[in-house]
Structure formats: C-alpha cells, structure tokens
Structure 1
Amino acid sequence: MGAWSHGPFDNDDAVDFMMELENAPSWETVRAIFDAVLAHDSYIELPEGARAYAAAALITVATGKSDVSAQDIYMTVDAMGPPPDGLVAVAKRALRQITRGDSEIRELYLDSGSYNEWLDTVAEVDKALAV
C-alpha cells in the first residue's frame, strides 16, 4: 500500500478515489464503494477498504463534522451537495466491516506498527458520522 500516514486520505487508493470524484462528483459513486465492501462475506481487498475509509471521511467533511486541509475535497463536496438520506448509516456499517472483518487494510495496519493510531482515526471518523 502506498500510504504515508494512517489518515483516511493518506494513501494511493484514497487519492485515486478522490481524483475520480473530482472528475465526476456523485454520491452514487460513494454509495457504490460502500456497497462493494458490504457485499463481501469474506476478505475485503485493500483498494475497496481504503476507498470506503476515505468515502466515510468525505461524508464527515460534507456534513461539516470534520475539516480537511485539501481544497480539492471541498470543491468536490460543493459539487456533490449534501449526502443523501441513509448514506451515513451505510458508511458506518462499511467502517465496521473494514475494521472488524477480514480486510487487507486492517492487516496492513496491523503489520505496520501503526494499527492503534489507524483504529483511533477510524473511530474519530465513525464518531463524526454520528447523527
């Protein structure tokens, strides 16, 4: 994984996801990422897990419950408007899936030595999603 920290936007998969959204802003794209994670009964690959983590954090930015310094995130959120009803609940379920289930992102952070920091950051995103 090309990651430089444990934050939701601090890896290559998240950057790719945000670039896709910047080119075609849509909450349907975000929903599809969560649906892909939730459709797994078994192992979740890294790109799906990293994108779901970033997508959940994006919702917290869109709802004003967190801030991120990257200007392109705000431009994307402005273009998308507010998240549709029900998306927060789906995001929370996807976060649980990548942190408690069998996921490559979880394994990589376990192996990296920054697992607790990653879990703390995921918990902050989850808390910011609280309605």
Structure 2
Amino acid sequence: MGTWDIGHFDNDTAADFGGGLDDAPSDKREALLRDALTAVTRTGREEYLDSEEAVVAVAAAALIAAQCPGGAPVTTPYGPDEPLPPLDPELRGLAVSALDRVVGENSELPGLWAGAGAGEQWAAGVTGLRKVLAEAVV
C-alpha cells in the first residue's frame, strides 16, 4: 500500500475506493459504503484483518461521518469528487462497529502506523471519526 500522509484517503487503496465511488451510479454508492464496512465487521475478532480492507472501511466511515452533525467534510483530492447522496443513518452504527474492529486486536493497520511512528496520530483521527459517528447513532 502506498501511503503519503495520515489522512483517511492518503493511501492508494482508499484513494482508489474514492474513485470507485465516483465511477458508480449514484444509487449504488451507499451500497459500496455498506459493503466496505461489512467486509470488516464480518471478520471475527480472532481473525486477522488485512490493512487493505481496514483502510477502505476507515475511508467509508469518514464519508458517513461527514454527513453527521459535527462531522468534517471530506475535502481531500483523493476522496470522491462527486457528492454522495444523503446516506441512511443506520450506516453510522455499522461504521462505529467497523472502526472498533479496525483498531482492535488482530488488525494489521494499527501496527503499520505504529511501526511508521505515527500510531498515536492515526489512532486520534480514527477516534475522532468514531466519536462523531457514535454521537449521531439514532
């Protein structure tokens, strides 16, 4: 995975996901977000979670959080260019569960960030997303 910064879309895999959302018909974008989150939440806590799935789930969570009260807009050029339609609020809880899995045991991504010397900074960004999403769960 090519990574150039700490942002949620600042790696090849998440940037490709953002481009894929632009390529998808508007009525299919929500399903792509749900699929990204479900791919992470369906893995058991004892199963290894690959960083490729994890970065896509974090990117999807960032897009969902952007539609929540207090959520930061996704303004990076590596995210989708096309605005997302209003998303089902039910996705917020799924995004919280996915983020919990991404930062949990047997997940590759926290170790990669720790090894790069940016583990705390990365975790703070994910924690911020989780907070916005959890506060907006209906």
TM-score, reference length from structure 2? 0.85
Which residue number in structure 2 is paired with residue 30 of structure 1? 33
Whether 2:57 is the aligned partner of 1:52: answer: yes
Q: Aligned letter for 1:49? A: A
Whether 2:102 is the aligned partner of 1:98: answer: yes
- Do 1:6 and 1:118's aligned partners in 2 also have CA atoms closer than 8 Å? yes
Deviation at 1:70, TM superposition (A): 3.3
Q: Distance in 2 between matches of 1:76 and 1:20?
A: 13
Q: Distance in 1 between matches of 2:123 and 2:116?
A: 13
- Do 2:13 and 2:56's aligned partners in 1 also have CA atoms closer than 8 Å? yes
Whether 2:120 is the aligned partner of 1:116: answer: yes
Aligned residues: 128
Deviation at 1:74, TM superposition (A): 5.6
Which residue number in structure 2 is paired with residue 68 of structure 1? 74
Q: Aligned letter for 1:18? A: G
TM-score, reference length from structure 1? 0.89
The structure with the largest helix share of the pair is 1
**Deviation string, structure 1 residues 61-120 (Cα, Å, up to 9, x no partner):** 23362123236636232xxx1111310000000000010131121121121110000000
Unmatched runs of 5 consecutive residues or more in structure 2: none
- State the identity %: 30
Which residue number in structure 2 is paired with residue 14 of structure 1? 14
Give SS of 1:62's match.
coil
